[in-house]
Structure 1
Amino acid sequence: MTEPAAPTTSTTGTNTNPSSPASDQQRQRPKPQKQNQPRQNQGGNGHSNNSRGKGGTKPRGLERDTPEVRLSKTLSWILRHRASSEGIVMRKDGFVKVDDILRNGRIQSLGLTLDQLKDIVQADSKQRYTLVHERSDGTSVASSAVAGDGAGEGVWLIRANQGHSISTVKVEMKPILSLDDIPSKLAVHGTTREAWASIQKQGLSKMMRNHIHLAQGVGGDNVISGMRRSSQILVFVNVQKALDAGIKFELSDNGVVLTGGDEKGFLRPQFFDRVEDAKMRQALAGWEGRGAIDNKAVAMGSTVS
């Protein structure tokens, strides 16, 4: 906004003549130039983000989220989707060095330590991560089996057990060759009403991820890996029918049923057994499928504690 010309005074009073030299000087006064200041990270220590490698310093999640929730969201986001863009080298099996994670700006802003990371992995109800200490001879030991701080030669590694969108990651899974290979004999996908509008026509899509995720039951009071608690629609999949049609399924380390779908990445509606309203636990019209499912058995499913 242009500043108004300051009034000039004379012995006879205020000068209001717009063509006076004083007014011309006011109009021609150059605007002050903004000086470029170096951008600082959230820590406010004056160092550039480059001191922490690639990526930013703002953690994932909302401001109202607890630090623990933001840490979990940030960790899974990096390990599943953004390791490379954050300057972290990821092996083909999905493992990254814990040192690289702890040096990441977003993680550093939350003050994570190795001991805290061990606690997070052990306490995670959905068993999202695997944390191991890889020795110099190439053998790996689970974090729970390492005494103390794991002192000695070797390196700490961590990975997400599933949910990757990074196509080069090939986490070893257990092949599902028949329904008997699924402990609960169930495979359920939770979704929203909005998404169901297209799913009922096109089927489930892996979208940007490597797999479509299916839980071995319905959450209820227990925690079920592979399904969000906020799910509004439950899609029960006929795994055996899909297997017979050539669709491949796998079982992750934390019990999630995974499939890449058909050649276009879809699991088509022809493989849906039954579709229910998650809250009412009643079948949607036209999707009654094989009839009522034992809700108690479904709720038990394959719970993870």
Structure 2
Amino acid sequence: MSADFDLVKLSKALSWLLRHNAEKQGFKFLPGGFLLVEDVLKHQKFKGFSVANVESVVGSCQKQRFTLKTDETDGRLLIRANQGHSIKSVEVEMEVITNPAEFPTVIHGTYYRVWDAIRQKGLSRMNRQHIHCAAGQPGYKGVISGMRNTCQLFIYIDMEAAIRDGIQFLRSSNNVILSPGDENGFIPPQYFEKVVDVKKNEIIFP
């Protein structure tokens, strides 16, 4: 098994634990959504991995999915996922966006197979805490995360109108735009500026 493959496996395992399954696996989050790296590495899913491996995954992740920091009280290493949590108790500090003019382009990436449902009901946060968006076109300067690079449709969000109507938006530490949606967990279609078919470079909505 190659080192590269091992690091991909480790990255996926960290996402699995930190975003979705830590509490089910008996972990208790520290403030900010952090866990001790030494405790994470004791879990059977991380057998064979080291602190150096974790540092390599975090440092090489272009989308900056994770944050490492040293505990100020005892010097031990902590790790968290920056966003994408389905665990309701996790509270990661984020910046509340009050001036949408600072983010003129906000895009949610998705796929053909779910477009009909999205067109009818809007974007859903589903089992996660937030709906994820990129703060601009993927690949542009400063846009490192917020959607998968396999997305087939780009939904451009009218964040100004949504905020005006009471929908909250936040910015994570790795510059992903996040929203809990309305009271039902949706960003309704009325806040879609346009939807672009990426492959065809065609506007398919409105």
Once the two structures are superposed, residues 116-139 of structure 1 have per-residue CA deviations (whole angstroms, 9 ceiling, x without a partner) of 211211111001111011122xxx
* Equivalent of 2:6 in 60, 64, 67: 67
Partner AA of 2:37 in structure 1: V
Q: Specify the alignment match of 1:90 in structure 2.
A: 29
Q: Specify the alignment match of 1:216 in structure 2.
A: 135
Q: Does 1:177 align with 2:98?
A: yes
Once the two structures are superposed, residues 237-264 of structure 1 have per-residue CA deviations (whole angstroms, 9 ceiling, x without a partner) of 0000101111110000000000000000
Structure having the higher Rg: 1
Task: Mark the CA change 1:112 to 1:192 in structure 2 (over 3 Å): closer, same or farther.
Answer: same
- State the Cα distance separating 1:224 from its structure 2 match: 3.2
Q: Specify the alignment match of 2:186 in structure 1.
A: 266
* Equivalent of 2:168 in 248, 258, 279: 248
Residue 274 of structure 1: SS of its match in structure 2? strand
Residue 120 of structure 1: SS of its match in structure 2? helix
Once the two structures are superposed, residues 156-199 of structure 1 have per-residue CA deviations (whole angstroms, 9 ceiling, x without a partner) of 110000000111111110110121333xx211001110111100
Once the two structures are superposed, residues 84-122 of structure 1 have per-residue CA deviations (whole angstroms, 9 ceiling, x without a partner) of 1222221242101111111010111xx211122112111
Bigger relative CO (Cα 8 Å, ≥ 6 apart)? 2
Q: Specify the alignment match of 1:150 in structure 2.
A: none
Q: Does 1:233 align with 2:142?
A: no
Partner AA of 1:170 in structure 2: E
Q: Specify the alignment match of 1:134 in structure 2.
A: 71
* Equivalent of 2:18 in 79, 82, 90: 79
Q: Which ranges of structure 2 fall in alignment gaps of 5 or more residues? A: none
Check conservation: 2:170, 2:179, Cα contact below 8 A: yes
Runs of 4+ in 1 over 4 A off after TM superposition: 220-223
Q: Does 1:195 align with 2:114?
A: yes
Higher alpha-carbon deviation: 90-99 or 75-84: 90-99
Q: Does 1:154 align with 2:75?
A: yes
Check conservation: 1:193, 1:233, Cα contact below 8 A: yes
Residue 103 of structure 1: SS of its match in structure 2? coil
Q: Percent identity?
A: 41
Check conservation: 1:91, 1:169, Cα contact below 8 A: no
Task: Mark the CA change 1:158 to 1:278 in structure 2 (over 3 Å): closer, same or farther.
Answer: same
- State the Cα distance separating 1:218 from its structure 2 match: 3.0
Separation in 1 of the partners of 2:156 and 2:93? 25
- State the Cα distance separating 1:201 from its structure 2 match: 0.4
Partner AA of 1:232 in structure 2: Q
Check conservation: 1:130, 1:161, Cα contact below 8 A: yes
Residue 76 of structure 1: SS of its match in structure 2? helix
* Equivalent of 1:116 in 31, 53, 59: 53
Residue 41 of structure 2: SS of its match in structure 1? helix
Once the two structures are superposed, residues 14-34 of structure 1 have per-residue CA deviations (whole angstroms, 9 ceiling, x without a partner) of xxxxxxxxxxxxxxxxxxxxx
Separation in 2 of the partners of 1:210 and 1:221? 26
Count of matched residue pairs: 202
Going by fraction, where is strand more abundant, 1 or 2? Answer: 2
* Equivalent of 1:164 in 73, 79, 85: 85
Residue 94 of structure 1: SS of its match in structure 2? coil
Once the two structures are superposed, residues 53-88 of structure 1 have per-residue CA deviations (whole angstroms, 9 ceiling, x without a partner) of xxxxxxxxxxxx922222111111100000012222
Check conservation: 1:217, 1:224, Cα contact below 8 A: no
Task: Mark the CA change 1:221 to 1:135 in structure 2 (over 3 Å): closer, same or farther.
Answer: closer
